[in-house]
Amino acid sequence: MRSWKSLLLLGVFISTAAVSNFVLGKKTDRSGQRLQRYFIEVPMRSPFDGRQLIGWLNRNGYDVAGSDWQAGTIEVITDQQGIDRLNQRGLRGSALQNFVGAGANAIDPRYLNPQKVEDLLKSLNARFPEFTRLERIGVSLQGRPIWALLISSTPRADDPRALEKPAIIFDGLHHAREIMTPEIVMDVAPTLLNGFKAGVPGARQALLNWNVWIVPMLNVDGNSIVWGEDAWWRKNARGAQSSIYGVDINRNYPFKWNSCGGSSGSSGAQDYRGESPGSEPETQALARLGQWVQPTASLSYHSYSELILYPYGCSSVLTGENALIEKIAEEMATLLPRDRGRGNYATGTPWQILYSVDGDSMSYMHAEFGALAYTFEVNQNFQPPYELREPTLQKHRKAWQYFLTRMDNNMLSIQVIDGKTGAPAVAALEFSNIPRTYGEKAFRTNAGGNHFKVLDPGRYNLRATLADGRRAEAVVEMNGRPQSLRVVVQ
């Protein structure tokens, strides 16, 4: 580990004079003073230095907005004090010339807000009652509903066939200002529903084979702050009305909460983890949906930086399925060219290409359910011109459609039967060749005795254990085609 001092050798300096022309924020501090904020681009000399620098910025309370590893820059939102502290450290950056204002009126009104999300989901549900189900999965601190829409050929909660299909969860807008992400997640619904009606094979396959859940806007309170008073708000609305400080809901999930320095315990910090694991209603809403549907896959959309992240968030830990997870990330990246500049989205764990995070949803979805879990960091800023929406949706549509088909072709559908009763059984499942590296739960069957696992070609030894300790073993050979396996436990 190089120390901060090595960064002093980079020979880059911030010019406050240049910066002062770019007054961006109008946030008020607790004493009622107006704080002016700036969007600053700090150069890094190499990815190694960049990670050190991001770590330092995080630890020192900077709001790290994003990074561009190709250009070698890190972008932070900070106030004059923050700039002074950078200067004292001998760091220089520059204000972003092309930045577009900071007030709510800087955001194109065509982007989704909480009300529009609700209206759209309700109208889709009304238009496609035979293929959708709308669920209120939680209520925010300020009383707004958090919605999830199920898209499936078997949408009814009491249809036993629903348990015979794997589930995928798409979520958007953990972070209030990441306004492209509800657009991408919402786009899943009309793409699949209209595609199904038009006989598009991929859409048909998705509705027949999957329970597709979309949660376009998790942080509904935060997003209304973005539209109302602070375009750069990130967290939820925790705190009294007059002094909202907010919790970073993507540091609040119970798995490895506050475990590796990947979040802050200070309520003013942008990555404040909250008072206790899973303390926030938004976190609880998505976790509850996970517990209902036991997802086989989870795609979470954030902005920005053009990355595909996979677990784990914590420093130097990979999952027991990393070979497959990494390969699929690289395959999806070939479908995701950058908005500007050469090349495609970069892939890696947060600690490899960004910084360590703990209490994040992606690590939770993998450790709790064995889901293939990815986080996309889309675009090159938080609030791109609306004209970029369609190209962004198009390329992400390609990536998630590819992902669904890729999983279909390599899916092992397991059903565990209790030999004594002949009935489907809830069982814990273990594969000898998928080690548990970080305290993950065992995979388990749903109420219909089913579990769905995406596996690379190869030979797998499976053990199923019932609640009373009876167990059975099976061997399965995967070959790039979907397979079913029935395991009877005597």
**Contacting positions for Zn ion (CB under 5 A):** 175, 302
What CA–CA distance (Å, rounded) separates 368 from 379?
Answer: 29
Q: Which is nearer to Zn ion, 302 or 453 (CB)?
A: 302
- Measure Cα distances from 367 to 319, 337, 414, 435 in Å: 9, 30, 19, 12
Residue 395 in contact with residue 388, Cβ under 8 Å?
no
Q: Which is nearer to Zn ion, 37 or 302 (CB)?
A: 302
Q: Which is nearer to Zn ion, 55 or 66 (CB)?
A: 66
What CA–CA distance (Å, rounded) separates 420 from 422?
Answer: 6
CB of 44 to Zn ion, least distance (A): 20
Q: Of 281, 300, 293, nearest to 216 (Cα)?
A: 300
DSSP 200-246: -HHHHHHHHH-EEEEE--S-HHHHHHHHHT-TT--S---EETTEE--
CB of 335 to Zn ion, least distance (A): 21
Can you read off the two tokens belonging to residue 282?
């938004």
Q: Which is nearer to Zn ion, 354 or 427 (CB)?
A: 354
CB of 172 to Zn ion, least distance (A): 10
CB of 178 to Zn ion, least distance (A): 5
Q: Which is nearer to Zn ion, 144 or 175 (CB)?
A: 175
DSSP 427-464: EEEEETTS---SSPPPEE--TTSEEEEE--SEEEEEEE
Q: Which is nearer to Zn ion, 144 or 302 (CB)?
A: 302
Q: Which is nearer to Zn ion, 133 or 235 (CB)?
A: 235
CB of 334 to Zn ion, least distance (A): 24
CB of 217 to Zn ion, least distance (A): 13
* Inter-axis angle of helices 220-228 and 114-127, nearest 10: 130
CB of 212 to Zn ion, least distance (A): 22
CB of 220 to Zn ion, least distance (A): 15
CA angle 269, 226, 221 (to 5 degrees): 80
CB of 264 to Zn ion, least distance (A): 15
Strands lying side by side in the sheet with 450-454: 450-454, 411-418, 483-489
CB of 300 to Zn ion, least distance (A): 9
Q: Which is nearer to Zn ion, 382 or 400 (CB)?
A: 382
Can you read off the two tokens belonging to residue 328?
């699929």
CB of 174 to Zn ion, least distance (A): 5
Q: How many CB atoms lie within 10 A of CB 35?
A: 13
Q: Which is nearer to Zn ion, 169 or 404 (CB)?
A: 169
Cis-peptide into 312, omega within 30 deg: yes
In 342-482, at which residue ranges do the beta strands (DSSP E only) sit? 346-348, 372-378, 411-418, 427-431, 443-444, 450-454, 458-466, 471-478
Q: Which single residue brings its beta carbon nearest to Zn ion?
A: 302
Q: Which is nearer to Zn ion, 235 or 302 (CB)?
A: 302
Residue 298 in contact with residue 372, Cβ under 8 Å?
yes
394 three-class SS = helix
What CA–CA distance (Å, rounded) separates 171 from 302?
Answer: 9
Length of the chain: 490
